[in-house]
Structures are given as structure tokens and as C-alpha cells.
Amino acid sequence: MCVYAFINTNSGGVQTIGPERASSILFHELKEAGLDCRMTLGGAAEFSAFAEEAKNAENTSMVAIAGGDGTLAMAASAFLDTSIPVLLLPGGTMNLIAHDLCIGGDLEMAVRNVASCRPRRIDVATINGRAFLNNVVFGDYADMAEARETIRDAESMDERLGAISEATHTLINSAPRNFRIEHPQGVREIGSNILMISNNPYTHALDMRPRRKRLDTGKLAIYVAESNDGIDLIARMVEVMRGELGKSSAIERIDAESCIIHADCETILAAVDGEPMEMKTPVTISIKPRALTILRPE
């Protein structure tokens, strides 16, 4: 039996320690655990070929994916509704899903604990058919996420300064946008510069990271926020990072199995597990209960 392992060389955490160091850690620790490993390094294009090979191989015992939250969401989409256990390893910047699964943010330590991991099934949410594990955010936060990606990928100082200028402009000129939210309990029309939908509700925070106690409730959490300008937007973002969503008088939570988001435009920018993406409207978001088999420490 074989572990099929993939490292996203474009992920922030992997770039910090270096792809060669990351692959060395992963290969060594899996070998120490007595596991044969077939390793692939690369980006989205290489991942597609990797996933097909892993799913079609007769000797796949599990897959191990190292990358950021966007990469791990890509893995969830690929191995959704299969019996192959997926080990989600921290290779990004925030590593939100890895922290929620008690895997942590240290790649080497996470792989060392592989022998103590046991299979569990967790929910996977989708937006217009694309899987996500953490959250989707609309509004000016999504524009700032796009600027952050540009800063990270910039090849020159001029590109970085341009992206910083765009983010600053977005914050200074932040204003409400009109959203119409349809969900099984009713319809809600709001004006806000941020709208967040999470895969299972956030319950607390640790080290300025929002956390969820459970990932198998079968519910989306729709967070409707009173947020009209840049100052409000910063305040709402701080409340999220501090785990104060349930305490804030400016945020209301609606639990649902699905929702449809309407906007005043044909496409809308969304930050999907931190990755900025253009989505056709209306946007359909739903949850697939216990659809992914993952490995997590006991």
C-alpha cells in the first residue's frame, strides 16, 4: 500500500521553508512511520494529474496534501465522496482547517503525528459547485484578499506598491453593497460591505484564528454584519479573529443547509477559503454532510 503525497510549491508556508525542505520532511516522516510514499510537487495543474492517479491506483492507502487552505479545499473537491482518507497538512499562512482538526500549523510536527491519526468524516461546503472547507466572504474583504494575492505574487516593487495602493483605496472608500440572501427559513435583504458564510459555525478563536469545535453539524453559518465603511470593516474582521462573532451586537448568525446569494451584478468577487474568485450570480452555496474522510490525531 502507498501514500500518495502532494506539496503545493506555491503555498505561502511551503515557500517559507522551501519546497525541497518540505518534501524532505514529508518523505522522511512517512518513511519513519513505515509508509511507502509517492511524492508530487507543483501547483494546480500538477494537482489535477496527481489526484486522478491517486484515485485510480489500486494501492492507495491514503493521500497527504500539504498546502494552504485553498489547496486543501482543492483536495476536498477531488476526494469528495470517496473512501480514500485524506491527511490535510499545514503548508499555508493561516492553516485554518489544520488548526480546526487539531493538526496544528507545523508541517514537521503534523507529519510526525501521522501514526496517531484516525479517520473521521467531515462536512464539505460548495459554492457554485466548488468545494470549500472554511468560509466564503463577499464584499470589500474579497477585494482586499485579491490585493493580498497580488502582493504575494508580485515580481517587482512597483507591482507590490500598486497592490498596496489598491487595498488602501478599497479600505478608505469601503461602502455597503446590496445582497439578497435566500435560505430555507426565508429571505433577507441587506446592505453591507462584508458577508461571510462558513462551513459549520465558528465557536471561538485561538492565536487570532477563528476556530470551530465541530465540522460535522451539517450546517452553514451565514453571518450578516452591520458594516458600512472601512472602520466598520476592520472592526468586523477583528471580531472574527478574536472569536467574538457570537458576542457582537453588529453580527447576526443564520444557520442553514443552503443559501442563494443575489447581487446587483452578473459576477461577484468572493474570497473562497482565502482565494479570490469571480463567481456568476446568483451564487448557490450548500453543504454536503460528512462527505470527506480525513485523518486527524486522536
User: What pLDDT does residue 226 have?
Assistant: 97
Q: Which parts of the chain register pLDDT below 70?
A: 147, 149-155, 163
Spatial neighbors of 169 by CB under 8 A, at least 6 apart, are none
User: What pLDDT does residue 153 have?
Assistant: 65
User: What pLDDT does residue 154 have?
Assistant: 63
Residue 192 cell numbers, joined: 453591507
DSSP state, residue 192 = E
Q: How many CB atoms lie within 10 A of CB 9?
A: 19
User: What pLDDT does residue 152 have?
Assistant: 67
Residue 40 cell numbers, joined: 508530487
Cβ burial 150-182 (10 Å sphere, 16+ → b, else e): bbeeeeeeeeeeebeebbeebbeebebbebebb
Nearest Cα neighbor of 260 from 178, 184, 176, 177 is 184
The three-point CA angle 199-202-207 to 5° equals 120
Whether the Cβ atoms of residue 73 and residue 273 lie closer than 8 Å to each other: yes
Label the pairing between strands 36-42 and 2-8.
parallel
User: What pLDDT does residue 293 have?
Assistant: 96
Residue 119 cell numbers, joined: 479517520
CA distance 73 to 131: 6
| pLDDT tens digits, one per residue of 174-212 | 999 999 999 999 999 999 999 999 999 999 999 999 999
Whether the Cβ atoms of residue 132 and residue 73 lie closer than 8 Å to each other: yes
- Side chain identity at 100, as an amino acid letter? D
User: What pLDDT does residue 136 have?
Assistant: 97
Domains of the chain (ranges, CATH numbers): 2-123+293-297 (3.40.50.10330), 135-289 (2.60.200.40)
Whether the Cβ atoms of residue 239 and residue 254 lie closer than 8 Å to each other: no
Q: Is 153 left (phi over 0), alpha (psi -120 to 50) or beta?
A: alpha
Q: Give the burial class of 128: count Cβ atoms within 10 A of its Cβ; 0-12 exposed, 13-18 middle, 19 or more buried.
A: middle
User: What pLDDT does residue 13 have?
Assistant: 87
